[in-house]
């Protein structure tokens, strides 16, 4: 059995070794085992292979370790296994979710008619946002999308959604599942800092005027690749001119609106029709924990489905299950409430700011290093770069980034990520945890430098 060594991120085992260890856990038998045996089995078989997000060398993805406060919330939600379907199933859960959603709208300074709902993930929240945008568009064409579907549109082939080239692939999932198809998604060029190029957006709107029906424009607030924040205010102006639904995909980045020095780059967000935010990313809320905001609470009526046994029409009790699927919903509000209430907003903001500062300091330093090419200036907590040691031919640089990435990862001691920027391989550092400091990031650079020579 492969053990993880102290300080390492996980065992470093291969998929075959992990499978061999886990095998006895899934060996279902007629007889059960004691709780103590069960715990020992899980601890021995699985734990060494789980990734330690609490270690500062975890610098690759958006996952975060739950704080003690988050665990208090999660434990109660689990102990009572509350399904927050409606008032009848969980009076406390239903009211908590409704009040939490209202408090979140206030916290993010959204408009007086705004509201929110908890979702399983940013992926599903993006999907629901696009559905609501399409439903709204159908309203203007004089029919009810929920009844007629896409065939209600005279020219379904003209339906178009605009987003940037760096928008998250969950938008593709959304248009597939909505029956629109990937071709309806038009991905716009980026500016020098990998934000949506607004002049290209303006040109596309003009170009499409007589040939396409633009249903929704998606601004990404924190792209997955580089953390760039699209120019929300300018995009909101263009949406307002044409009456187009504005959706902000802030699954990763919207949390940083809470950091005073970063808040201005989100300006215009209160004009968006819908916004996605994932507290299961940097806030460390137990997965799944995602929030979908709407500017007008009445837009959630587009989602409501009633039945004869519960969620009956006309019932006045709070009913979060009418605002988004599914019917059986976890009590996601509680861990998030526990984080915000337990830590206090000052600590939450301090912890959000610390990775942003660390990544910005790193970018400043790397900009002065001859053997490193920085590929963008960071808007948030992500930095992409290439190691470009002197004497390495340009044609070998792509292969070098892959080798370095694999070498770092295979040690099990450090986790960085590999991505592609403008067709070239790039290394990517992501910091979501306040435990990862500038020094930890600098250590990674030294490890990469050593690997270059190996």
Residues found near ligand PLP in the complex (CB under 6 A): 62, 121-123, 126, 168, 170, 220, 222, 224, 249, 251-252, 278, 290
Q: Which is nearer to ligand PLP, 124 or 153 (CB)?
A: 124
Q: Which is nearer to ligand PLP, 45 or 258 (CB)?
A: 258
**Residue 116 token pair:** 């929110």
DSSP letter, residue 310: S
Q: Taking a C-beta distance cutoff of 8 angstroms, is the pair 55, 7 a contact?
A: yes
Q: Distance (Å, rounded) from C-alpha 129 to C-alpha 177?
A: 13
The residues near 295 (Cβ < 8 Å, ≥ 6 apart) are 110, 111, 113, 114, 270, 271, 272, 273, 274
User: Read out DSSP for 222-280?
Assistant: S-TTT--B--HHHHHHHHHHHT-EEEEEETTTGGGGGSTTTGGGGTTGGG-SEEEE-TT
CB of 252 to ligand PLP, least distance (A): 4
Q: Distance (Å, rounded) from C-alpha 173 to C-alpha 128?
A: 11
CB of 223 to ligand PLP, least distance (A): 6
Q: Which is nearer to ligand PLP, 213 or 249 (CB)?
A: 249
CB of 63 to ligand PLP, least distance (A): 10
Q: Which is nearer to ligand PLP, 121 or 146 (CB)?
A: 121
CB of 318 to ligand PLP, least distance (A): 25
Pairing mode, strands 290-294 and 372-374: unpaired
With b for 16 or more beta-carbon neighbours within 10 A and e for fewer, the 371-389 pattern comes to: ebbbbbebbbbbbbbbbbe
Q: Which is nearer to ligand PLP, 230 or 299 (CB)?
A: 230
Q: Distance (Å, rounded) from C-alpha 415 to C-alpha 419?
A: 13
Q: Which neighbouring-strand residues pair with 213? A: 159
Q: Which is nearer to ligand PLP, 290 or 444 (CB)?
A: 290
CB of 442 to ligand PLP, least distance (A): 25
Q: Which is nearer to ligand PLP, 201 or 372 (CB)?
A: 201
Q: Distance (Å, rounded) from C-alpha 431 to C-alpha 380?
A: 9
CB of 264 to ligand PLP, least distance (A): 20
Q: Which is nearer to ligand PLP, 252 or 300 (CB)?
A: 252
User: Read out DSSP for 398-437?
Assistant: HHHHHHHHHHHHHTSS-B-EEEEETTEEEEEEE---TT--
Taking CB atoms, the residue at the shortest distance from ligand PLP is 122
Q: Which is nearer to ligand PLP, 12 or 231 (CB)?
A: 231
CB of 326 to ligand PLP, least distance (A): 15
CB of 177 to ligand PLP, least distance (A): 13
Angle at 306 between CA 300 and CA 310, to 5 degrees: 120
CB of 278 to ligand PLP, least distance (A): 5
Nearest by Cα to 388 from 411, 366, 360, 417: 366
Q: Taking a C-beta distance cutoff of 8 angstroms, is the pair 347, 427 a contact?
A: no
């Amino acid at each position: 059995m492969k053990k993880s060594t102290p300080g390492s991120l996980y065992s470093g085992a291969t998929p075959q070794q992990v499978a061999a260890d886990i095998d006895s856990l899934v060996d279902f038998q007629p007889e059960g085992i004691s709780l103590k045996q069960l715990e020992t089995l899980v601890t021995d078989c699985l734990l060494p292979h789980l990734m330690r997000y609490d270690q500062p060398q975890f610098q690759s993805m958006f996952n975060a370790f739950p704080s003690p406060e988050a665990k208090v919330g999660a434990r109660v939600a689990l102990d009572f296994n509350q399904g927050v379907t409606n008032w009848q199933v969980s009076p406390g859960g239903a009211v908590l979710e409704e009040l939490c959603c209202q408090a979140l709208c206030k916290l993010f300074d959204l408009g007086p008619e705004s509201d929110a709902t908890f979702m399983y993930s940013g992926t599903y929240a993006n999907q629901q946002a696009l559905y609501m945008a399409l439903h709204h568009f159908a309203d203007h064409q004089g029919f009810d999308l929920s009844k007629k579907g896409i065939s209600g549109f005279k020219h379904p082939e003209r339906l178009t959604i605009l987003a940037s080239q760096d928008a998250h692939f969950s938008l593709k999932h959304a248009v597939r599942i909505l029956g629109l198809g990937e071709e309806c998604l038009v991905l716009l060029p980026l500016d020098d800092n990998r934000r949506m190029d607004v002049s290209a957006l303006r040109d596309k709107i003009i170009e499409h005027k007589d040939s396409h029906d633009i249903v929704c424009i998606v601004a990404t607030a924190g792209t997955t690749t580089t953390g760039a924040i699209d120019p929300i205010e300018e995009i909101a102006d263009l949406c307002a001119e044409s009456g187009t639904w504005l959706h902000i995909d802030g699954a990763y980045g919207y949390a940083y609106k809470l950091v005073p020095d970063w808040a201005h780059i989100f300006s215009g967000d209160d004009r968006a029709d819908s916004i996605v935010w994932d507290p299961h990313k940097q806030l460390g809320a137990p997965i799944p924990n995602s929030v979908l905001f709407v500017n007008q609470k009445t837009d959630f009526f587009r989602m409501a489905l009633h039945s004869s046994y519960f969620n009956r029409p006309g019932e006045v009790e709070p009913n979060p299950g009418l605002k988004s699927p599914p019917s059986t919903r976890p009590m996601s509000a509680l861990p998030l409430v526990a984080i915000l209430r337990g830590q206090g907003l000052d600590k939450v903001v301090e912890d959000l700011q610390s990775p942003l500062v660390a990544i910005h300091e790193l970018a400043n330093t790397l900009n002065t290093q001859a053997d490193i090419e920085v590929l963008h200036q960071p808007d948030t907590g992500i930095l992409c770069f290439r190691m470009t040691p002197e004497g390495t031919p340009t044609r070998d640089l792509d292969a070098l980034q892959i080798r370095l990435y694999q070498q770092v990862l295979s040690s099990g001691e450090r986790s960085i990520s590999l991505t592609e920027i403008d067709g070239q391989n790039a290394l990517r550092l992501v910091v979501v945890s306040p435990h990862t400091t500038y020094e930890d990031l600098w250590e990674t650079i030294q490890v990469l430098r050593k690997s270059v020579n190996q």
